[in-house]
């Protein structure tokens, strides 16, 4: 419980209507307090998850999949580092485009090993969904 509810000083009921929930202005279409921050969190979380999966996939690919050369491992690590750097840059408008390019690069890494292509398809779909949510929330 947050305590007793009090009437606003100006006597205006803000429990319904366009000013519901926000004393200083209109409520956002999405209902979120800070939709831009929520969308940035979605993009950053997606990229961090992608980086983690890429790093954790190296050993199973080497053991089960066969030939994953040192250069291929370097490419996977580089993609993971870029994903983490982009996750930290989600406040910049270009970071969303760079994230899309990263998904394409991961698909191209599928030339090094088929399982990287599978991961590329999965994360390209997840990224496409994040872009869809961003468009719906921010307009």
What string of pLDDT tens digits covers the 139 residues of the chain? 555 555 555 555 545 544 444 455 555 566 778 888 989 999 999 999 999 999 999 888 888 766 777 888 899 999 999 999 999 999 998 999 999 999 999 999 989 888 899 999 999 999 999 999 999 988 8
CA dist., res. 90 & res. 39, Å (int): 9
CA dist., res. 41 & res. 22, Å (int): 22
CA dist., res. 8 & res. 71, Å (int): 64
Per the confidence metrics, is the pTM higher than 0.85?
A: no
């Amino acid at each position: 419980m947050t305590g007793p509810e009090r009437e606003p000083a100006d006597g205006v009921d803000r429990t319904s209507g366009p000013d519901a929930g926000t004393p200083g202005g209109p409520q956002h279409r999405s209902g979120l307090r800070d939709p831009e921050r929520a969308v940035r969190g979605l993009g950053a979380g997606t990229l961090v998850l992608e980086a983690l999966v890429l790093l954790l996939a190296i050993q199973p690919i080497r053991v089960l999949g066969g030939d994953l050369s040192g250069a291929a491992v370097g490419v996977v690590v580089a993609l993971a580092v870029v994903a983490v750097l982009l996750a930290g840059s989600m406040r910049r408008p270009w970071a969303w485009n760079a994230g899309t390019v990263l998904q394409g690069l991961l698909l191209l890494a599928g030339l090094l090993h088929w399982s990287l292509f599978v991961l590329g398809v999965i994360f390209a779909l997840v990224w496409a969904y994040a872009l869809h949510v961003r468009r719906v929330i921010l307009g």
